[in-house]
Structure 1
């Protein structure tokens, strides 16, 4: 029987699922996650949860950003070739991968590519409307299934294959709760920064391409830090997690006093 998340650690951020992901990262392994909503509900925060997990689980040097999210299958599979190790890649609203298209050539090709992608040490999250729409081939490749029960709360399962019957079955790992990330602005701000720099307008405002790229990279770095600080503030101010709890998360390279400083500044 699944256990409700402890009130001393709402969200279950030290639960079995996160420990399992951390172990995989230490071993240089990838992870494939299917994310659905109970009864095919809409508006319950699948994308919201995906973005939250992206910021939490991406341990690459660049960190998580909007550039690692797509709703195009081809681009999602290309992520496995170009993203640095430790990244999180998200395929949002992946109806193209659902069971109704299971026999199409594109789905067969996609499952083969997703299977071969295991060497890239990427965490892939694929969002589907409901559990009933999961293509069985994608299901066999996945390691975890997360089902959003209601907005802000989801149940995590680990996939297993029976040794002799070769049938799939799932074991409940934990519950997850997460803060609202609707206000996080990475998707809009990164594109706006690039457009502002490239659409210089007057010749007097012209800058070298190398300088443009430097400015873009600085804008990206500033945006990643802004999003990180917003995420830290949400965890510190909206949950009982302490500065020490947050500082020990795998994607936070700060001491507890700095965590508290960031959280109090953003109030």
Structure 2
């Protein structure tokens, strides 16, 4: 059975384009926390299907390993008029949303962003080895858990995430129409979205940090120091605060990364 013919897909789309007109929070993990089972590929495949379904053009700014970059992009995304998609890959391993960071400001910000999902119809797709690696508040707010099978590779089982009636404990419920759902190998398909995320992971591994937020911060510092004058920074602040231009649009004007615009804007606060 194709993914778009399943109860999971119809449930997901009903929440986005049905009467609720909302977004969705999807966590993708794997059996026995296995690697190499296609979690990133599934995230890309699902994102592309969703973008096709509701007419959203995904770009590189929608693909990140950094929790900080995710939050910046979340703020830029369209409002209730347009559903959209963001992939936050390697939620635990790259430093964002980890259970061990449960009291961190970033986890609070991620949780708040998810609570405000109805203000912006964003479908957030996150991947991590096992969903216990995510902070509990994020797991409680998730709508779906997609569990990639160790064997055969290229299949997953969907679960609806909810809470018990009396004490609010997290519970998951499977779907009865299908035991497992197949998805393609996006690496072999040469998907540019997949390739971009793969390049980000290679860069993170080479950095030695294993923390995408730290790596992005270093890149911001280098880029800001080397390419922008003080007048440039003042103009970027003005554009960000007064013109209504998005950070991506400003970044295109100066041929810099969107995260650099975010840093300069925040320095003005």
Is the Cα–Cα contact under 8 Å of residues 56 and 83 in structure 2 kept in the other structure? Answer: no
Aligned to 1:49: 42
**Cα-to-partner distance string for 1:16-57 (whole Å, 9 max, x where unaligned):** 110011211223111110111111111111100000001001
CA 1:184–1:118: 2 relative to 1, 3 Å = farther
Alignment TM-score, normalising by the size of structure 2 = 0.62
Is the aligned partner of 1:94 residue 2:91? yes
Aligned to 2:7: 16
Rounded to whole Å, the distance in 1 between the matches of 2:98 and 2:7 is: 28
Q: Secondary structure at the match of 1:155?
A: strand
Equivalent runs, 1:1-267 vs 2, <5 Å = 9=1, 11-26=2-17, 27=19, 28-58=21-51, 59-84=53-78, 85-95=82-92, 96-150=96-150, 151-173=153-175, 174=178, 175-182=180-187, 183-187=189-193
| Aligned residues: CA RMSD | 2.2
Does the 8 Å contact 2:68/2:106 carry over to 1?
Answer: no
TM-score, normalisation: structure 1: 0.62
Q: Unaligned regions of 5+ residues in structure 2, if any? A: 197-248, 253-269
Distance 2:70 2:47 in 1: 14
Mark the runs of 5 or more structure 1 residues left unpaired by the alignment.
1-8, 190-212, 217-267
Cα displacement (A) at 1:184: 2.6
Which one has a bigger Cα radius of gyration? 1
Answer yes or no: is the 8 Å Cα contact 2:131–2:139 preserved in 1.
no
SS in 1 for 2:125: strand
